[in-house]
Chains A and B, each alone.
Chain A
Amino acid sequence: MTPREAILGKIKSQIAADPNDAGRRAAVANRLSNAPRGVIPKRGQLPPAKKKDLFCTKAESVQATVDRVTSYDAAAKAVSQYLRGRNLPQSVRMGQDQRLESIDWAKTPSLSTDTGPSDGGQPVGLSHAAYGVAETGSLIMTSGSENPTTLNFLPESHIVIIHSKDIVGDYETAHANIRKHYGKGRMPRTVNMITGPSRSADIEQKLLLGAHGPRSLHIIVVDD
């Protein structure tokens, strides 16, 4: 008997499962295919403009900073201004996300950009979020060459651009959107739900920012 058979057999005998299992199998198939949404907090169920406001407020409440711009081209300038305000180098590493590539970075000549994952040598990472979740100000990032996962974690500072139409009220809606995009039962290699910059309270319960991930998280909401 393989370990797998032993473990599954043990569970069946402890449950005293009916050998043909038809009812239990139907219950499992039903839940997996219908994925009931459960209890959804009212706080995120808002009209789009208010949803966006809640997202920004919640993100700021967990020490992210938020900027709002009216076009992708304006986002380039916002990135540069943010870096200057923080005394950070005018240099960002990003992935091949089409929305980021559509920006005319040359219009902001002080800022240099390059493309690829991070190997730890880049001070600033720039990504585009797949979704934002208003109820807790969380960003949903999906892996791939468009937005490499290492950019979310290795640079000291992380800047994330998000389009206001991608802000949803609750986690369940974000998951439903991912499912629609990638197909039922499929996921990108990594989905990162990010709520504020890295932190730790492991020394005497004192909360400090910048443990191993980025010390700062700056979100730019594009509303065009």
Chain B
Amino acid sequence: MKELRIHGRGGQGSVTAAELIATAAFESGMYAQAFPAFGVERRGAPVQAFVRFSKDKIRLRSQVYEPDYIIVQDSTLIGDVNVFSGMKEWGIAIINTERRIESEVPEGVRLMTLDATRIALDVLGVPITNTALLGAFAAATDVIHLEALERALRHRFSGEMAEKNVKAANLAYNEVRGGTV
């Protein structure tokens, strides 16, 4: 079983991202479970959402404390929240930032950064970064395939909104595949 923890701020679509990844994993033939951290969410406040993936049925219901992967939608969270808490050795951290943040990342974490806000603004016209980060997640891990993610996006959104989100995911996917993790 693999576990993902998504850190974001209220309004950035962290819960939707968790549901989309679980849907994509399910469509790829895996069992998946997605759920939010049940906090007092307000727009802009730190929020978390979780995803578990496994080939077998998942029974565990506690929150994710030792993730294999984290996605951080907003790098300004790093000072406020210990986003790296409990990460497994050589776990992958996918962080949305335009800055160089290597010095803020603990040893033993494989860091992958991208400017998902730029992609979101270019493609969607709003700084909602979740779908771009999902593309990055697909590229950086073997957990979900890009095609399954595209199907999940088209299932969730319709018409032009679906295609724009698919494009954002693809741009992020290619940017990560072009770089190194």
Partners in one complex: no
Q: Which residues of A contact B (CB under 8 A)?
A: none
Q: Which residues of B contact A (CB under 8 A)?
A: none
